[in-house]
Structure formats: C-alpha cells, structure tokens
Amino acid sequence: MDFSFDGQHLLHHLADGIIIHEQDMILYANEIARIMLGTEIHTDLTQSLFSLRIDPTCREAWLHNGANHSHEADRVKLVDLKLLPEAKPFTHVEALTIPFQGNERLLVTTLRDISEKKRQEERIRHQANYDALTGLPNRGLFLDRLKLELARAKRTDVRVAVMFIDLDRFKWVNDTLGHAAGDDLLREASKRLLSCHRQSDTVARMGGDEFTVILPDMARGPHAERVAAQILEQLAAPFTLEGQEVTISGSVGVTIFPDDADNLDDLLKNADTAMYRAKSQGRNAYRFYTPDMHAEAMARMALERELSSAVEDQELALCYQPIVDLNTNRIAGAEALLRWNHPTLGAVSPEVFIPIAEEMGLIAQITEWAVREACTQACQWRSQYGTAKDFFISVNLTCTRCRELSTDDKIPSILAETQLPPHALVLEVTETILGEDPPKAMAMLNHLKQIGVRLWLDDFGTGSSSLSVLRNLPVCGVKIDRTFVPDALNDKEAEVLVTTIINMGRSLNRILIGEGVETEAQRLYLEGKGVQLAQGYFFGKPCSAAEFPDQFFDH
C-alpha cells in the first residue's frame, strides 16, 4: 500500500517515535522511531514486522493490541514495550495506538521513551528486594520466594529444603580487623555460597552474618546433605582480609518441607533451631532438624529471657573452693565459682548458662560482676581474719571477655574500688586464648601482668598443650587438670601426663597447682612431686561466702 503524508518533515523531527502500520506491518516510521527500534537512521522499516523489533516477552501483548483495534476503533491503546538489546540506550517505550483517520485497518502508534523511568523503577525494586552489600535477595524477597516454592511443592508433591547459615567468628573479624574487613568477608562468603547452589536455588542474606538457602525440587537422596557439606568446605577455606589470611567456619541448620513442618513459620524456626544446635556443638558443622530440638529450643529461649535479669534479681552467686598450700597444709586462697540459683529450676550449671551468656552479649556484665564480687569478698576476709592476710582469690575468665576487661581498664578500676592488692587477684585463662588473635591476646596478658595481677594457665594438658605455649604465655602458675590427678596413682598413662606437666612447669619456674584432689594418697603424691598448691574435695567442697570462714579460717 502506498502512503504519502505532507507533514513528513515535521514527523521526522518529533521527539517521539511515530509508526503507521496495518496491524503488525510497518508502513511508515519516522527517524526517532527507527533509532528507538535499534536500526540505522536511514534504514527503511517499510513492510517489516514491528513485533520483530521488540523483546519476545512483549510480542503477544503488542499483537493482541493491534488485533483488537479493528473491533474497538474508538479506544486508545497504551502498552509498555521492552526493546531489543541493540536499541540501547533505549530499553523501554510507551506505545500509544489509535486508529488513523477513522480507517479501521490503519493504526498510528507513538513511541515515547520511558527507559529512565524503567531504570528508576528497577533501582527501587532492587533496593527493596536485594541486599545492598552482597547483592543477594534480602529477607523480604526470600520469604516471598519461599511462599511460592512451598505452594508449588504442595501442588507437585515435592520436597523443599530450607537452610540457615551463620558465619562463625564474624564478630571477631569485625572487632579485630574493622567493619571494612567484615563487609569484605560478607561479600566473599556470598560468592562462595552461590557457587554451591543450582540456578533454581535461592541464596539470601537475612541480615548481619546470617544467610538462608531454599533448595526446591529436592529429591529424596542426600542432596541437602551434600550442599551443606560443600558450604562448610567453602567457608572453611582461608579468606584474605585487609592483607591478612583469616580462617572462619560456618554453622548450618537444615529443615525439610513437608517432613519437618508444612508451613513457612515453623520451617524458619526449625532451621534456626538446627543451626544453633550446630553452633552449640562445636561449630563448623551442619545439623538437620529433629523433633527433640524443639523442646530444647523452648527451654533455651526461657533461659535466655531469665538470664537477662538474673544479675539484677540477685540470682547469680559465687561459691568458693579452698586452695591449699601443700607445704604448710594451710589455706592459701580460693577459687570463685559462678553459680545461678534459678527460682524454679534450682542450680543451673555454668556449662549451660555461660555459653548462652556469651552468645547474648551478657558475659561482659556477668564477668565484671563476678570479678568485683570476688575481689570485695577477698578484701573483706583479708582484713577480718589474721590467717587470711596473704589470702588470694582466683577467677576464671572466658578468653573473649578477658581481653575486654584488660583493654578497657576494668580490672584496675575494680582493684582500686575494692582496695584489693593486685597480687591478691589470680585470673585463670586457657591456652585457647591464643586461638583467634595471638598478638592482641599476648598484649592483654602482658598488660594484666604489668599491673600486678597473677595469671594461671587453667586446664593445661587437655588441649594441644606444649612447652612453647607454656613458655610464651606470661603466666606464673599452671593448673594440672582435674581429669588427670585422680588417675595418676593407678593409670600409667595418666601418671606420665602429670609428671610431664610438672616437669614442664618446673623447668620454666612456674607455680604448680593440682586440681581434683580427692584422697590423702593423691595429696601426698602431688606433694612428693613438688606441686606447691592443690584443690579438690579432699580439702573442701565449694561453699557460700557465709560458710567459708567457719570451715577454713582459724578464728
């Protein structure tokens, strides 16, 4: 069909694209329309199909739009069209179609560039649905996708696995190397997690150092187990952060739909519970949800709530176990042992509530209270009882909290407040204090030594103990672990271990303290080996501050 138009010069200089077409067949296109459609300015589009110039995803809507105009001649048709990649910088146009001069077969469509509008919309959509740091789906998008996957799984009778992943030692990286290193760690960890998964899986960042994964269409085989193992392997490989090689690990919790739960909320709780089980059992591990975890999680949540107020409610207390000088057989000091007297559960073991306090960030408050309480009590006994004028108190510190107490001058301020001489305070640390950041740990220990506090190495012999560890740490005493002393008289291997520890300590001029002494024979054995101090049930069980003087001080 021939077409001529006296206003062609005007049409060629419009800001909008103009095409005249018969359904999908282009009869005329102005200059800007040809550019928008990704062709050279002088390319003749006459007799070509418009639908071939737009993205395939929009063609059906475009063809439907043109076909309906013959029946709805008076209606204005407006449709957004995505363009082909070669049309850049144009990506989208808004197409407005009307009949041409009442002719039902001829249509006029104007193309208005809305590329920037679409880019803005995409930016807003991306910001709303994706994590700005890692580029992974955020919590909102993760939950939307999980809803869709669960609905599809119900229709098709397939399984879906949900994973919770927590980066072990992330807080340490942030605190030690800075937040920039922490951000780098999150970005690199995200890439490694993506490498473990199929394109159909979803890897999302929930916030902080927690990630989640959706594994749809999961076969009955051990696919989730293989993925979890691969995640641990990827996270255990060293990271280079701020020019330093850093090693972390991951704790992974896995739950399966519909085996473990048939709704979204319960699946999320299950995965979180399984992840915390992995973390509490040593980290760098994965755990699948089991029903018994639910009761354990509920009990743990209750303890978390109640532990927060335990200090204010005076539920925490210290018990004191005597430490005896084997040369004089007299009380030399005592170890302060933390106890939680729960109003309904009774005595809660420190092995239960101390890890919870560390995870909740309460260990700082609790440890500071324990050190202050122990120093106050020791100072009172030293001034009140003549036989206690040289009495010392020992307090066990977690390695993480020990560094904080020294660097922020809490120990000196506590000593000044309670008026306890620094040499009357013994802080017990373990060799694991060197595990995370040896330079900072050594600086902390040297600082404590400089202010006059005595340091003992606790649980020596239970880890990767060595002469070099004992030589490098600025400790003046070594405690022989309670698991060795009772067996030393009857078990040849235990006797060799105790003798080795004693020889190592003596060679470096360290005070030796034997734990777990239960009989006179064990006391004599340690005395004969040259051990200076000892504690255990043979000398006295831990007791309250009110009971201690009557049992162990001469009046």
Q: Is residue 126 in a domain? A: no
Residues 400 and 515 in one domain: yes
| Mean pLDDT of all residues in 129-151 | 93
CA geometry: angle 442, 444, 445, nearest 5 deg: 65
Q: How far apart are CA 354 and CA 543, in angstroms?
A: 20
Residue 453 DSSP SS3: coil
Residue 38 has pLDDT above 90, yes or no: no
H-assigned helices in 157-221: 170-177, 179-195
Residue 332 lies in a domain: yes
In this structure, what token pair is assigned to residue 260? 């473990």
Residues 92 and 164 in one domain: no
pLDDT digits (tens, 9 = 90+) for 405-430: 554 568 889 999 999 999 999 999 88
- State residue 88 phi and psi, 5-degree precision: -50, 140
**In this predicted structure, what is the pLDDT of residue 2?**
54
Under 8 Å between Cβ of 55 and 82: yes
> Given this model, what pLDDT does residue 177 score?
82
Between 363 and 420, name the one with better pLDDT: 420
* CATH number of the CATH domain containing 467: 3.20.20.450
End-of-domain residue from the set 271, 297, 323: 297
Given this model, what pLDDT does residue 127 score?
Answer: 82
pLDDT, greater one: 118 or 440: 118
Q: Which is more confidently placed, 17 or 421? A: 421
Q: What is the CATH number of the domain that holds 25?
A: 3.30.450.20
Same domain, 329 and 446: yes
Are 107 and 67 in the same domain? Answer: yes
Q: Are 411 and 368 in contact (CB under 8 A)?
A: no
Q: Looking at 96, 118, 140, which one is the last position of a domain?
A: 118
Asked if pLDDT for residue 215 goes beyond 90, the answer is yes
Domain's final residue, options 264, 297, 330:
297
Residue 2 forms part of a structural domain: no
Of all residues in the chain, what percent carry a pLDDT higher than 70? 88
Mean pLDDT on 109-122: 87
Secondary structure, 3-state, 481-525: CCCCHHHCCCCHHHHHHHHHHHHHHHHCCCEEEECCCCCHHHHHH
For residue 362, being part of any structural domain is answered with: yes
- Banded pLDDT at 221 (limits 50, 70, 90): low
Supply the pLDDT for residue 407: 47
Residue 484: band (very low, low, confident or very high) from pLDDT cuts 50, 70, 90:
confident
Containing domain of residue 150, as a range?
Answer: 131-297
- More confident of the two residues 176 and 423: 423
Report the distance separating Cα 335 and Cα 14, nearest Å: 89
What percentage of residues in the chain have a pLDDT greater than 90? Answer: 40
User: Is 348 among the domain residues?
Assistant: yes
Taking the alpha carbons of 143, 144, 146, 150 in that order, is the dihedral positive or negative?
Answer: positive
What's the rounded mean pLDDT across residues 346-363?
81
* 303 belongs to a structural domain: no
Distances (CA, A) of 439 to 354, 403, 445, 457, 473: 26, 11, 10, 18, 11
Clarify whether residues 98 and 160 are in a common domain. no
Q: Are residues 200 and 328 in the same domain?
A: no
Does residue 498 carry a pLDDT above 50? yes
Give 73's pLDDT tier (boundaries 50, 70, 90).
very low
**Domain check: are 71 and 168 in the same one?**
no
Cβ-count burial 148-160 (b if 16+ within 10 Å, e if not): ebbeebeeeebbb
Residue 463 banded pLDDT, cuts 50, 70, 90: low
Average pLDDT over residues 348-352: 84
pLDDT at 553 over 50: yes
Q: Lowest mean pLDDT: which of 29-33, 332-336, 429-433, 490-494?
A: 429-433
Average pLDDT over residues 144-151: 94
**How much is the pLDDT for 64?**
72
Q: What is the mean pLDDT of the chain?
A: 85
pLDDT score for 398: 64
* In a shared domain, residues 346 and 415: yes
405 alpha carbon, distance to own chain's centre: 24
Mean pLDDT across the stretch 149-170? 92
Q: Are residues 94 and 160 in the same domain?
A: no
Residue 349 lies in a domain: yes
Distance CA 322, CA 537 (A): 9
Q: Comparing 39-43, 103-107, 455-459, 503-507, which segment has the lowest mean pLDDT?
A: 39-43
pTM above 0.85, yes or no: no
Tell me how many domains the chain contains: 3
Asked if residue 143 and residue 87 are part of one domain, the reply reads no
CATH of residue 160: 3.30.70.270
More reliable by pLDDT, 447 or 548: 548
Is the predicted pLDDT of residue 307 greater than 70, yes or no?
yes
The per-residue pLDDT for 530 is 92
- In a domain, residue 125? The reply is no
112 shares its domain with 161: no
pLDDT at 475 over 70: yes
State the pLDDT confidence band at 319, using cuts at 50, 70 and 90. very high
Same domain, 91 and 161: no
